[in-house]
Amino acid sequence: MVFSAGSFGPVRVRILVAERDAMLARSVAAALAAGLLNSEVEIADSLESAETRLRGARFSAMIAGTSLGADAPSRLRALMDGPLLMIGAGAMAEGVDARMNGADDFLVAPFAPQALVDRLMARLAEKPSRPAPAEPPARQIENLSGSSPAMQRVYGQIERIAPSKAPVFITGESGTGKSFAAQAVHAASQRPGPFIAVACGGRTKEAVQAEMFGSGGVPGAFERADGGTLFLDGICDLDLSLQAALLHVLQTGEVRCGSPAARRDVRLICATHRDPKGEMAAGRLRDDLFYHLHVLPLELPPLRNRGEDVLKLAANFLACISQEEGRAFTGFDPLARLLIASYAWPGNVRELEAAVRRVVVLNSGGTISADMMPDDIAAAVLQQPHDTARTEARAENRPAASAPPAILPMWMQEERIIEEALAAFGGNIGRAAAALEINPSTIYRRRQATRKTG
């Protein structure tokens, strides 16, 4: 079915409406045809029908209903050039999910016809076309995942510093991928020698010294890395006497791997999760060594500052781990996505991978739901000053100030209220229940259920 605007001149705006509810689809199409001059509106009654039309013709914009299914935004975005608006009677989480999967906007039904027209016109004005697929061309480096602006800056830095022979100093929280970044620098440098890694912390000084410089006729890391790259992981944990030996190598270019000393062509990369300036102030890192090593700094962003990367990484981990563990999980439901996007992930990518593995191993099914998520993650989200605006802004890489107000699921709000009451009364369930005007057994049941799901 085709609706055309009653106007003169050629069609300038062609819109596809996809919705299973025939009455809703016709009313939306009629509103668009009436509100947009020189427009033509077509209707598709299923996701498959919409995909067929998108493959066969070019549309200026698209309105799609959530009735098409949870995977509709991503499937349609892969074929759609212009703005994609989702409509439905769903909750806030459904709108967040739609945006995270490729939709440009979400309107909650019922809505005034003119509101839909105004929203679509605004989207057409700010972004008349959008290349397909939705993902912009982005650098990708082996073992480092993410297409967020923060990671694109990291990829650009790696490409620029790789050809140099100067030392690289990588900083970043635990779990951000510092060792992968070091390997990426070496791979892009095209140095003929090997990549050799040495862990500077968690071992005795003698063990680290033997690995770095050799012992008893066994070649050390400097000798083995000749012509390549030596990666010193946890440089701030290196014993001060070994820091002096490393400084001598940097100053003279000679490595005492035996007698006499020999010159080695080794590119140094070091990394730490600590604050190097704080370590210098505390006397645990020599300042002269730091300034020799801190020539080309590379800082890796924490996962909480990487926008939509967290959901993409979670999806990638889910696919891989489900296959490894023989499970059939294919995705996360909207509330689980909301938890993943809201949590701060202090352990970064490493913590995310561990959390996904825990969920996969301890559960079964096709979709990860919010109640399957680790209890400590749900509890942390409940306890933090929650801001769904921040969640959406991270996912869309835009300032949080422009995002809508937070709406938490009811079960989350109830859990938070109970925990706040218990905290206020020092854990006394009877007094907390009295203040909340509920039966103490309700609190007992809630806490018991929480322990079981955790």
Q: What is the model's pLDDT at position 159?
A: 93
pLDDT at position 186: 95
Confidence of residue 403 (pLDDT cuts 50, 70, 90): very low
Q: What is the pLDDT of residue 388?
A: 45
Q: Tell me, yes or no, whether 85 lies in a domain.
A: yes
Find the range with the poorest average confidence among 51-60, 71-80, 203-212, 250-259.
250-259
What is the rounded CA–CA span in Å between residue 130 and residue 136? 9
Residues 118 and 245 in one domain: no
Tokens 């939709």 locate to 103
Collapsing DSSP to helix, strand or coil, 185 comes out as helix
Higher pLDDT pick, 175 / 404: 175
User: Which of 439, 434, 414, 438 lies closest to 424 in space, CA to CA?
Assistant: 434
Query: ω into residue 10 within 30 of 0, thus cis?
Result: no
Average pLDDT value over all residues in the chain: 81
Q: How confident is the model at residue 244 (pLDDT cuts 50, 70, 90)?
A: very high
Same domain, 64 and 91: yes
- Same domain membership, residue 342 and residue 295: no
pLDDT in tens, 12-41: 678 899 999 888 888 888 888 777 766 788
User: Is the pTM value of this prediction over 0.85?
Assistant: no
In a domain, 277, yes or no: yes
DSSP 405: P
Q: Judge contact between 169 and 298, C-beta under 8 A.
A: yes
Look at the block and give the residue holding tokens 């490409």: 159
From CA 107, how far away is CA 257, in angstroms rounded?
68
Beta 61-65 vs 84-88: how paired, if at all? Answer: parallel
Nearest-Å Rg of the Cα atoms of the chain is: 28
Q: Sorting pLDDT into bands at 50, 70 and 90, what band is 378? A: confident
pLDDT of residue 131: 41
Residue 357 and residue 314 in contact, taking contact as beta carbons nearer than 8 Å: no
Instruction: Give 387's pLDDT tier (boundaries 50, 70, 90).
Output: very low
State whether 220 and 279 are in the same domain: yes
pLDDT above 90 for 282: yes
| Whole-number Å distance between alpha carbons of 246 and 205 | 13
How buried is residue 436: exposed, middle or buried, by Cβ count under 10 Å (0-12/13-18/19+)? Answer: middle
Cis peptide before 133 (omega within 30 of 0): yes
Q: Does residue 142 fall inside a structural domain?
A: no
The proportion of the chain whose per-residue pLDDT surpasses 90, expressed as a percent, equals 36
Q: Is the residue at 143 inside a domain? A: no
Q: Are residues 86 and 172 in the same domain?
A: no
Residues near 190 by Cβ (< 8 Å), separated by ≥ 6? 162, 163
More confident residue, 165 or 413: 165
Q: Which domain does 99 fall in, by range?
A: 2-126
Q: What is the pLDDT of residues 94-128, one digit of tens each?
A: 666 677 778 888 887 777 888 888 888 888 876 65
**Helices and strands, number each (H, E), in the chain:** 20, 15
Of residues 239, 198, 199, 206, the one with CA closest to residue 222: 198
Clarify whether residues 292 and 315 are in a common domain. no
Q: 391: pLDDT confidence band, cut at 50, 70 and 90? A: very low
CA distances (Å), origin 428, targets 418, 431, 432, 444, 447: 11, 6, 6, 11, 13
* Domain contains 131: no
Same domain, 352 and 230: no
Task: Name the nearest CA neighbour of 190 among 228, 160, 218, 226.
Answer: 228
Asked if residue 257 has pLDDT above 60, the reply is no
In a domain, 171, yes or no: yes
pLDDT tier at 438 (50, 70, 90 boundaries)? confident
Beta bridge partner(s), residue 120: none
User: What is the CATH classification number for the domain harbouring 80?
Assistant: 3.40.50.2300
Picking from 81, 111, 126, the residue at the C-terminal end of a domain is 126
Does residue 405 belong to any structural domain of this protein? yes
The per-residue pLDDT for 405 is 42
Q: Tell me the C-alpha distance between 381 and 195, whole Å.
A: 40
CATH code of the domain containing 325: 1.10.8.60
Q: Flag whether pLDDT at 302 surpasses 60.
A: yes
Q: How far apart are the first and last CA of the chain?
A: 51
Residue 184 has pLDDT above 80, yes or no: yes
pLDDT tens for 125-152 read: 766 544 434 444 445 565 677 888 889 8
Whether 133 is covered by a domain: the verdict is no
CATH number, residue 220: 3.40.50.300
What's the pLDDT at 90? 63
Q: What tokens appear for 250 in the block? A: 């940097």
Query: What pLDDT is attached to residue 260?
Result: 58
For residues 313-345, b (16+ Cβ closer than 10 Å) or e, as one string?
bbbebbeebbeeeebebebbbbbbbbbbbbbeb
From CA 446, how far away is CA 453, in angstroms rounded?
11
* pLDDT, tens digit, 9 for 90 and up, residues 334-362: 888 888 988 899 999 999 999 999 999 99
Look at residue 162 and tell me whether its pLDDT is greater than 50. Answer: yes
Residue 256 three-state SS:
coil
pLDDT of residue 165: 93
Structural domains counted in the chain: 3
95 & 188 share domain: no
Bigger pLDDT: 132 vs 191: 191
Last residue of a domain, one of 299, 319, 346: 299
Pair 56, 36 in one domain: yes
195 and 318 assigned to the same domain:
no
